[in-house]
Amino acid sequence: MNNAKRLDGVTARSAWACAWSIAALTVLPAVQPSSRVAAQEPPAPPSPFAMPVPPVGRLVAITNATIMTASHGTIPHGTILIRDGRIAAVGADVQVPAGAQVIDATGKYVTPGIIDAHSHTALEAVNEGTQSVTAEVRIEDALRQDPVSLYRELAGGVTSALVLHGSANTIGGQSITIKLRYGLPVDSLIFQGAPPGIKFALGENVRQTNVNIQPGQPRRYPFTRMGVEETLRDAFTRASEYRTRWQAYRADSTAWTRNRSRTRGAEPLPPARDLELDPLVEVMEGRRQVHAHSYRADEILMLINVARDFGFHVNDFTHVLEGYRVADEMVAAGSTGSTFADMWAYKMEAYYAIPHNAALMAERGVVVSVNSDSDERARRLYQEAAKAMHYGGTPEDEALRMITLNPARQLGVSDRVGSIDVGKDADIAIFTGHPFAPGSRVDMTLIDGRVFFDRTTAPTLEARMQQRQPRRPPARAASGGVE
């Protein structure tokens, strides 16, 4: 079965709210700036962002920076040394070796690259919305080459993202964790070594109560939160039986192989592969993370119970707008929370969302991240994270962790990214000022020590306006300088 083809076929049909509104899809860019379209026809113009592979031993030093490490406080005046794309040294007294490329960050703030734990960026299709269990679908197959959204998110300091299937289905497709290596071939986006995941969804989107059903069009099961639970239990019951059949086969097969006697009979036949149930078995065996779109406290508790009954746990509840009401239960279940900063009232199940949610969940011991679920919001996640300070008095370090180290922990990649520590990937954002201060913006973004966004070469409005300046005749000295 060709997943990519199937996804293409349903793009139009499923072009509706992925998580909160139809806007999520309408802002998907359809056109890319022509200079950056990855041309199939040779000779391709060299993309300004597709850099040659750096030589082995390449050294980069970011100097004179205020370094917010996210793991061990802020270094007021320090240097980060990068070797072969990884952080080789960080501190106030790091010597810059000869031959290093130096990025002078005097007066600037350096943070870990921002990690967006809920994104639909770079996707050709978001929802396989034809049925409520589509575990076989892989979002990886719908990644696009060079979508401009990636560039714009880089310009907001984002370096990694969890790209999720939409929330149309109780059990949606398999997710993919990416690094925003814009300009490189599409396969280069994949964050190698990140744990695989799958999207679950609960509540109104799954029930399709906010979808315009045409006259005569049948409603899709489930239509109530009761049906959502039943759909989950049905899927995992089938997956359990499927797993048992495979376990029995493997035992039989091993016994048959070891049995050298002439009476051992025919070789046992394996059960038929089921691409829908394979990922669910991986979930039950702890080999695939569950990212669960959720709003209300009741449905969060429901999924915690279902997961416990089938021997797995929910890695992160995403949106989780009423997480503040069941934070203790989430901690006890080993689940984390990834939420909006302050979105609310856009539908009934978001009516008791509060902007203190991130702060309050964190106070209760939940590992919390602040996510975007939007190519637009992703560009200003640093401002969103500061809202945890504004509403809930979250300490500055913890607010920064909500967009760096905490999502890294949630996605199982905190050994690689999320903080500025020796040995980690050099995924870094350089801000003109404190990332939470009103006048600050991102000037440079690095992934693996390579510059993927640089404001000085970026297509800015100022550059566009200069291009458009009408050519004026040379000023005449006698005119008195008035044009």
Partner 1 sequence: MNNAGRLDGLTAKAMRAALVGVAAVAVLPAVQPSSRLAAQAPVPGRATAITNATVVPVVGARIPRGTVVIQDGRIAAVGANVPVPAGAEVIDANGLFVYPGLMDGGTQLGLTEIGNGADGPTDLRELGDFNPHDDALTAVNPFSEIIPTVRVNGITTVLTSPQGNQISGQSALIDLNGWTAREMAELPRAGMIFTYPRAGGGGGFGGGGGGGGQQQTPEQQRERVQREARALRDYLANARAYAEVRSRTTDSASRPPVNLAMEAMIPVMRGESPAIFDVETADQIRGVLSLADSFGLKVILRGASYAWELADTLAARHIPVIVGPTTQLPAPGDPYDMIYANPGVLARAGVQIAFRTNSASDSRNVAYNAALATAYGLDPEEALRALTINPARIFGVQDRLGSIEAGKVANLIVTTGDPLDVRTTMKYVFIRGQSMPFDDVHTREYERWRNRPRPAPRP
Binding residues among 1-30 for partner 1 as defined by CB under 8 A: 17, 21, 23, 26-27, 29-30
Token duo for residue 227: 């049906």
CA angle 374, 379, 382 (to 5 degrees): 110
Rounded CA separation 144/155 (Å): 19
Outline where 285-319 has alpha helix (H): 297-309
Q: Are 276 and 135 in contact (CB under 8 A)?
A: yes
Report 378-407 residues binding partner 1 (CB under 8 A): 379-380, 383, 386-387, 389-392, 396
Taking CB under 8 A as the binding criterion, the range among 37-45, 100-108, 123-131, 464-472 that sits at the site for partner 1 is 464-472
Residue 324 sits in the site that holds partner 1 (CB under 8 A): yes
Q: Which residues contact 452 (CB under 8 A, 6 or more apart)?
A: 49, 154, 159, 180, 181, 182, 183, 445, 446
Q: Is 116 in the site for partner 1 (CB under 8 A)?
A: no
Count CB neighbours of 118 within 10 A.
30
**Contact criterion met (CB below 8 Å) for 240 and 215:** no
Q: 441, exposed or middle or buried, with CB in 10 Å at 0-12, 13-18, 19+?
A: middle
Residues 145-174 binding partner 1 (CB under 8 A) are 148-149, 151-152, 155
Residues 199-238 that bind partner 1 (CB under 8 A): 204, 209-210, 224-225
Cβ nearer to partner 1, comparing 26 with 479: 26
Q: Kindly state the smallest distance separating residue 207's Cβ from partner 1, in Å.
A: 9
Interface with partner 1 (CB under 8 A), residue total: 71
Instruction: Provide the minimum distance between the beta carbon of 311 and partner 1 in the complex, in angstroms, as a whole number.
Output: 22
Dihedral of the alpha carbons of 470, 476, 481, 483, in degrees to the nearest 10: -40
Which is nearer to partner 1, 31 or 269 (by Cβ)?
31
Indicate the residue among 140 and 375 with the shorter CB distance to partner 1. 375
Q: How many CB atoms lie within 10 A of CB 98?
A: 6
Residue 124 as a binder of partner 1 (CB under 8 A): the answer is no
Q: 110, 70 in Cβ contact below 8 A? A: no
Q: Which of 325, 401, 409, 450 binds partner 1 (CB under 8 A)?
A: 325
Q: How far is the CB of 378 from partner 1 (least distance, A)?
A: 10
Nearer to partner 1, 20 or 242 (CB): 20
Site for partner 1 in 427-446 (CB under 8 A): 432, 436-441
Shortest distance, position 28 Cβ to partner 1, whole Å: 9
**Site membership for partner 1, residue 360 (CB under 8 A):** yes
Query: Binding to partner 1 (CB under 8 A): which residues in 46-85?
Result: none
Q: Which is nearer to partner 1, 164 or 360 (CB)?
A: 360
Q: Which stretch binds partner 1 (CB under 8 A): 77-85, 236-244, 348-356, 472-480?
A: 348-356
Contact call for residue 278 and partner 1 (CB under 8 A): no
In terms of Cβ atoms closer than 10 Å to its own Cβ (0-12, 13-18, 19+), residue 358 is buried
From 37, 346, 412, 421, residue interacting with partner 1 (rule: CB under 8 A): 346
Q: How far apart are the first and last CA of the chain?
A: 68
Distance, in Å, from the CA atom of 439 to the CA atom of 437, rounded to the nearest integer, reads 6
